[in-house]
């Protein structure tokens, strides 16, 4: 090989190396540029999310104060629905049956020119929780009215307003319309067959399979070992002994028969009222039912979901330590679980559903008069039923940009007296 040819090849190789290095540098620079751009963009979005969430949290907290201060004025009123389908069986319908019921109800609504029951599906797609625009219904599809007018389990129409750029929504749900999960704990420490049958009946009608029922029973067994659940309460007297204080006029030290000095003690007796015991139990079980001891995620998983409709077992469960079911507002499977404690639950539940569409029951005596043949069975169930709801949850959602903050507050309401049981923020 001549020297000229060798130099030519060497020059060509050098140019190739330079080109390769240049390409590598370009790739590295492009990668660094992309990474830097992505990092800057992610940091910007992160900062914006923090700002949006701070606004949403502030709006949610403000709405909590507004809701609690306005509760005294809220008095949910039951409505008459004699010619309408009952909300009670919507959960049990398959998609075909559901669509047939909606079509029948739509025709009835068109004939009566009654459009106030038209609702729009909310972001969860739940036909029982429609979204309102400015407090009015929109016209996307027909929604079956619940016992208070808005779809079950709402006790009032949702309230929507804005605080600056934050959109806030307040919903109040009737917790006495749901199956009290504490009933399943009545088996502990002594078994109550009716409680077990009622629990299984409710779970099966709510769409849970045998595996899910057994899993939930195991979780409740664990809670039952921590604290028993009670239905009936009686005033109790507690006794505490504290050392008496020394005073200038007398001594707190006296001599015993052995001649030794003994300190005097003061005995204090305190009567714990029924209301106080109920509040304490409710607060305790609110924490237990919302802890990791219960797999709420699986219970909230839809077991009936087609198009705009979603149903889950958790939607029908009272997880705040409630003790009684309102027969005027509870769906069929909850009613049957309640009246299993007395018997003839299917017939009693059906009779209640037919009557309350026309006129709600005023009290248990009214129920016994209306269903006289089942008076004895109803008497056995009195600790488990009521005709007026006093247990509610306030659900508040605040949205700012892409951030959302929410709060759920459990309260009891007797007249104008409101007691806050628990609150969960997320």
Each residue's pLDDT tens digit, 223-265:
988 888 888 887 777 666 666 565 555 445 555 555 555 556 6
Buried b (16+ CB within 10 A) or exposed e, 328-344: bbbbbbbbbbbbbbbeb
What pTM, to 2 d.p., does this model score? 0.76
Residue pair 276/291 in contact (Cβ under 8 Å)? The answer is no
Tokens 């899993």 belong to 215
- For 105-139, how does the pLDDT look when each residue is reduced to its tens digit (9 = 90+)? 777 665 554 444 333 333 333 333 333 333 333 33
CA distances from 279 to 104, 176, 200, 229, 425 (A): 44, 15, 27, 13, 21
**How many angstroms separate the CA atoms of 10 and 5, rounded?**
9
Stretches in the chain below the pLDDT threshold 50: 113-141, 250-251
Token representation of residue 394: 């306030």
What is the number of other CB atoms lying within 10 angstroms of the CB of residue 215? Answer: 15
CA distances from 325 to 21, 181, 309, 334 (A): 78, 11, 25, 8
**How many angstroms separate the CA atoms of 201 and 37, rounded?**
58
Domain edges within the chain? 179-233+273-386
**How many angstroms separate the CA atoms of 58 and 396, rounded?**
12
3-class DSSP assignment, residue 335: helix
Token representation of residue 305: 């979901």
DSSP assignment letter at 349: H
């Amino acid at each position: 090989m001549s020297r000229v040819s060798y130099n030519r090849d060497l020059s060509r190789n050098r140019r190739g190396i330079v080109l390769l290095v240049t390409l590598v540098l370009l790739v590295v620079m492009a990668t660094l540029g992309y990474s830097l751009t992505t990092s800057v963009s992610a940091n910007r979005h992160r900062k914006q999310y923090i700002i949006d969430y701070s606004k949403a949290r502030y709006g949610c907290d403000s709405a909590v104060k507004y809701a609690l201060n306005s509760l005294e004025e809220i008095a949910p009123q039951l409505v008459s629905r004699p010619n309408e389908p009952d909300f009670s069986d919507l959960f049990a319908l398959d998609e075909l049956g559901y669509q047939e019921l909606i079509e029948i109800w739509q025709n009835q609504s068109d004939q009566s020119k009654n459009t106030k029951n038209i609702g729009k599906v909310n972001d969860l797609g739940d036909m029982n929780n429609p979204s309102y625009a400015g407090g009015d219904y929109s016209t996307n599809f027909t929604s079956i009215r619940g016992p208070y007018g808005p779809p079950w389990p709402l006790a009032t129409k949702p309230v929507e307003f804005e605080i600056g750029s934050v959109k806030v929504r307040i919903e109040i749900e009737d917790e006495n319309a749901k199956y009290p999960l504490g009933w399943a704990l009545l088996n502990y420490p002594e078994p109550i067959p009716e409680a077990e049958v009622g629990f299984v009946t409710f779970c099966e009608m709510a769409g849970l399979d045998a595996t899910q029922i057994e899993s939930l029973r195991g979780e409740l067994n664990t809670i039952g070992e921590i604290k028993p659940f009670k239905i009936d309460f009686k005033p109790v007297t507690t006794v505490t002994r504290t050392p008496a204080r020394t005073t200038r006029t007398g001594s707190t030290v006296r001599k015993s028969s052995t001649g030794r000095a003994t300190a005097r003690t003061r005995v204090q007796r305190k009567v714990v009222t029924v209301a106080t015991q109920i509040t304490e139990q409710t607060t305790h079980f609110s924490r237990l039912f919302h802890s990791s001891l219960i797999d709420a995620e699986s219970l909230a998983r839809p077991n009936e979901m087609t198009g705009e409709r979603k149903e889950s077992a958790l939607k029908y469960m009272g997880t705040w330590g409630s003790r009684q079911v309102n027969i005027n507002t509870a769906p069929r499977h909850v009613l049957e679980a309640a009246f299993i404690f007395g018997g003839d639950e299917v017939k009693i539940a059906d009779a209640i559903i037919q009557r309350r569409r026309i006129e709600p029951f005023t009290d248990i005596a009214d129920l016994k008069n209306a269903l006289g043949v089942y008076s004895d069975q109803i008497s056995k169930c009195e600790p488990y039923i009521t005709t007026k709801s006093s247990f509610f949850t306030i659900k508040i959602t605040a949205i700012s940009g892409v951030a959302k903050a929410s709060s759920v507050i459990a309260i009891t309401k007797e007249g104008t007296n409101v007691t806050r049981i628990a609150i969960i923020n997320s």
